[in-house]
Amino acid sequence: MKRKGSLSVLVLVAFSFLAGCEILQTENSFSKDLALYGVSSGGTAAFIALKTVLQSNCASCHSDFVSYTEEEWVDNGYVIRGDADNSSLYQRLRGSNTGGPENMPPDSTLTTDEISVVNAWITGL
Ligand code: HEC
C-alpha cells in the first residue's frame, strides 16, 4: 500500500515534468516573434526593440522592413554601423536631429523614445 502511494507520486511528478517541458517548447521566444512580426526574428534586445518600432510605425507602407536581418539593413545601404546620423534609416525620421518636416513617417512623428530606439540600435551595431 505504502509503495503504491509513492509510485503514483513518482508518476505524477514525471507527468508534471513532461507537461512543463511541453509548455516551454510551445511558448518559446521564436513563436512569440512569429506572432509579433510574422517572421522568425531573434537577435539582440536592441534589434528586437527596433523591429517593434518599425512594425507599429512603418510596416503598413514598408512591409519588407520587419523582415530584414541586421546584415541586410547594412548591405542594402540603409544603415552604416555605429553612425546613425549618416544612416538613411535614421536621417529620414522626422524629429531626429537629421530629419526634416517632409520625412518619415509621412503622417505622424515617432516619440522621442522610439527615435532613441532606432539611434541606439544603429550606434551599437
Ligand atoms: C503612409 C506610408 C508610409 C509610412 C507609414 C512610412 N513610409 Fe517611408 N516612405 C513612404 C513613401 C511613399 C516613400 C517614397 C517617397 C519618399 O522617398 O519620400 C517612403 C520612403 C522612405 C525611405 C527612403 C526610400 C527607400 O525606401 O529607400 C525610407 C528610408 C523610409 N521611407 C523610412 C520609413 C520609416 C523608418 C518609417 C517608419 C518610422 C516609414 N518610412 C513610414 C511611405 C511611408
Tell me, in angstroms, the distance from the centre of ligand 1 to residue 62's CA: 7
Per residue of the chain (125 residues), what is the pLDDT tens digit? 455 555 555 444 444 444 444 444 444 444 455 455 544 457 899 999 999 999 999 999 999 999 999 999 999 999 999 999 999 999 999 988 887 778 999 999 999 999 999 999 999 99
- Can you give the residue ranges of every domain in the chain? 43-124
Q: Is 16 in the pocket of ligand 1 (CB under 6 A)?
A: no
In the reported structure, the alpha carbon of residue 76 is separated from the centroid of ligand 1 by a whole-number distance in angstroms of 15
- The vertex-52 CA angle with 84 and 50, nearest 5°, equals 20
As given in the structure block, the three cell numbers for residue 119 are 539611434
